[in-house]
Amino acid sequence: MRKAKASVVDFRGVSRLLLVLFLLTAQAALGASPQRVVSMNLCTDQLAMLVAEPGQLISVSHLAVDESASVMVEEARPLIINQGLAEQVIRLNPDLVIAGTYTTRATVNLLKRLGVKVAEFQPAYSFADVRSNLKKMGELLGRDAHSSRLTDMFDQQLQEAGRTAEAIIPVLGSYGANSYTGGGSSLESEIVTAAGFTHLGSQLQLQGSSKLPLESLIYANPDLLMSWQRWSDRQGRAVEILQHPALEQWFGPQRRISVDSRYWICGTPYTVSAIQQLQAAVASKEKDDD
Amino acid sequence: MTRLPYPILLSGLALLVAVLFVISIAIGQVWINPASVLLPGAHGYGEADRLILYEIRVPRAVLALLIGATLGLSGAVLQGLLRNPLAEPGLLGISASASLGAVIAIYSGLTAIFAYALPISALAGALIAVLLLRGLAGRSADILTIILSGVALTSLAGALTSLALNMSSNPFAALEIVFWMLGSLADRSWVHVGMALPFILTGMLLLFATARALDALSLGHDAAQSLGVNLQRTNTLAILGTAISVGAATAVSGAIGFVGLIVPHLLRPCVGNKPSRLLAASALGGAAFLLLADISIRVLLPEKDLKLGVVTALIGAPFFLWLLHSVKKRAQV
């Protein structure tokens, strides 16, 4: 049964333009909020779990229950887990499917052809994107008030987490499996900057996640090198680079920081935790120095 | 046409390898003059340059040299032993099977317990491939039967490698498929050299031990036997030598194709009809070829981490087609 709801969205200012777009695609057009929502992407999973009212979200992707990727494993467990395959999703008889713009493309196109309503979310590259994705999720699910409360909380926490600029701002670079480092205009650079550091990828003017050869990393010589917990200690050729003797000689233990990647993957209000954890990790290194 | 005397050919090749080795350690993200870093009293280079030279570039060049030599040598031995101009570890599926062995060792967690599990498992994969090939095409003198068996083996090993990597819980494992199938020496370290070196040297010794028998074999099976050559022993030496050296090489570099095909063919006209002379020449030639390939990927696309197998296949595949064509033509005449 679908519950009819009064006007879902306030017609105001800029949101009006956004609404027109939604009117074309989303359930909001009918004035009813969707009651069988399926999410197929780790990041939309977490946003939807935060925003949806109990029972509204019926299924999330398998990554949402993956301890190494998701912050909301507990919340995801009671829900139906999908692998992002069209057959599976159709059988759930959803009235709204939420997907990321870069993942499961073939499935999304197929679902659209079959007449399923699909809303797509851009990955968040900045805190502004986090806000607009929260807003969009609120509008889609008919939970505007709730999502704007989340946004306000997020903004407040961001402000509290922000560190006053120090005289010398250390440069911090990330280095992950297969020699990848985060580029500028990314969520990573936004988090690193908010935590009070200069972001290496931004300084090197890298675009997006980029391969940085070990030689280049040593020449770039960031003050601190950050790697991802949970993924770095796994077996495999991809992460061998993180134990390269040259890397270990150049960046001693005092310059190596390990952070919990789950908080960095998706643009959700949890990114505040990423900032706090990074600051704490650096502070503990500084304390060791004294 | 006068041929170069053999010692001069070998010294020439050795000199080429030495020159390419020096260029290989000079080239990278920035040009470092090795002499001015190595010589005491030189300045202009910092701690970072020294570290990059010793810990990144030298091991990389050493691996290119060793692995190239292994592939060239095993190609020459296999061609002599099977009396098949198209034989080569890559084409015969030996490299792909070694990759499979390496992948299984890594993702089953064996390498975490015991570091040498990686080369050992890779050489076990290579050994199974060689034995299968001998079984499948052992009696048949048909050149193409062996090659087709190798093609099937390559596909099978490749599929199983993908399967193993896709089943891994590691989110980055699937990205490694390319490495294991096309090979790369980027950012390898002394750890890898230490792991592969003993096996590569052992394997190469075994391969060199087949030299005299290969000369006899070039006269034909029966002639070789009447000359007192122990064919069983030659077979065992070649099989073990290939499996051990190619297995260990593949464990650290991934599967690199065509080196063992091109190099012996290019050098055969220079050494004449003596397969034994081809061995040392092919080892040096293979080292030079792989060093050159590894230099070229860093010069052509320094930012893209182009895989070594891409370069060797770009040169090797057309060469293989030409060779196939000329072998067929010869067979018709």
Do A154 and A175 sit in the same domain of this protein? no
Range of the domain at A136: 15-158
Q: Is residue A165 assigned to a domain?
A: no
A25 and A154, same domain (yes or no): yes
Spatial CA neighbour of A231 closest among A239, A222, A240 = A239
Place of tokens 């080196």: B259
**Residue A4 located in a structural domain:** no
Tell me if A110 is assigned to some domain: yes
Is 1.10.3470.10 the CATH classification of the domain at B6-332?
A: yes
Indicate whether A204 and A257 sit together in one domain.
Answer: yes
Residues A82 and A130 in one domain: yes
Instruction: Determine contact: B175 vs chain A, CB below 8 A.
Output: yes
Residues B170, A221: C-beta atoms closer than 8 Å: no
> Which residue, A158, A181, A215, sits at the end of a domain?
A158
Following DSSP, what letter does each residue of B245-286 receive, concatenated?
HHHHHHHHH----SHHHHHHHHHHHHH-S-HHHHHHHHHHHH
CB contact under 8 A, A237 and B106: yes
A26 shares its domain with A121: yes
The contacts of residue A219 (CB under 8 Å, 6+ apart) are B29, B30, B48, B52
Identify whether A65 is part of a domain.
yes
- The amino acid at residue B100 is L
CB interface of B with A, residues 182-241, below 8 Å? 186-187, 189-191
- Per-residue model confidence (pLDDT) at position A99: 93
Region A113-127 average pLDDT: 92
**Within a domain: A239:** yes
Judged by CB atoms closer than 8 Å, whether chains meet at B51 and A218 is answered as yes
Tell me how far CA of residue B135 lies from CA of B149, B235, B241, in angstroms. Answer: 10, 12, 18
Residues A195 and A129 placed together within one structural domain of the fold:
no
Q: Does B113 touch chain A (CB under 8 A)?
A: no
Residue B3 pLDDT? 74
**Is the predicted pLDDT of residue B273 greater than 50, yes or no?**
yes
In a domain, A1, yes or no: no
Q: Are residues A234 and A204 in the same domain?
A: yes
What pLDDT shows up at residue A4?
A: 43
Same domain, A142 and A181: no
Q: Same domain, yes or no, for A196 and A146?
A: no
Domain end marker among A158, A184, A210: A158
Please state the ipTM of this predicted complex.
0.77
> Do A153 and A223 sit in the same domain of this protein?
no
B107/A218 CB distance under 8 A = no
Q: Find the CATH number of the domain harbouring A234.
A: 3.40.50.1980
Same domain, A233 and A284: yes
pTM over 0.80: yes
B interface test, pick of A221, A237, A248, A250 with most B CB neighbours within 10 Å: A237
CB-CB under 8 Å, B29 with A213: yes
Q: How many residues does chain A have?
A: 290
Write down the mean pLDDT value for chain B: 88
Place of tokens 């980027």: B186
Chain A residue nearest residue B111, CA to CA: A235
Chain A positions in Cβ-Cβ contact with residue B109 (cut-off 8 Å): 235
Which of B51, B171, B176 is the closest to A249 by Cβ?
A: B51
**Residue numbers in A near B168 (CB within 8 A):** 236
Residue B229 clears pLDDT 90, i.e. is over it? no
pLDDT score, position B312: 92
Shared domain check, A186 and A95: no
Residue ranges of domains in chain B = 6-332
Residue A258 covered by a domain: yes
Number of domains observed in the structure of chain A: 2
Is residue A136 one of the residues assigned to a domain? yes
In a 13 Å sphere around the CA of B150, the CA atoms on its Cβ side amount to 21
Residue of B nearest to A241 (CA): B187
